[in-house]
Amino acid sequence: MVDSALVWIVIVALAGAGGIGLSLFHYIRDADFDYVNAAIGVGAVGYSIELGMANGYLARNGLFDALMLICAGIVVVCAVLAVKRGQRGFRLLRSNS
């Protein structure tokens, strides 16, 4: 029987890598950074680190805790910049008055 936690960790990590890759592809193609995809990708990577620690695949130590804190900070900064720049997905949150 397959351990489903490991399957979900891999799925979330691949989704994170895809989000980061998509934001980099958008930057290379259009010279405009896509903060929404970056926030989703980095959030998924941080969540996969947390899932790995919670299920015992990664040791709980200061390095992985710091990586999760850094991922959370990057998500907040990317979300704020996306709202400030009015990127798609965040246009409803910005008032035009």
Reported as a single tens digit per residue, the pLDDT across 2-36 is 578 888 889 999 999 998 888 888 888 888 888 88
What local confidence, expressed as pLDDT, does residue 88 receive? 61
Write down the pTM of the prediction: 0.78
- Letter for the amino acid at 52? G
Cβ atoms of 23 and 42 within 8 Å: the answer is no
What local confidence, expressed as pLDDT, does residue 37 receive? 86
**In angstroms, rounded to a whole number, what is the distance separating the alpha carbons of residues 32 and 82?**
12
- The tokens of 26 are what? 């958008």
Reported as a single tens digit per residue, the pLDDT across 52-63 is 998 888 888 899
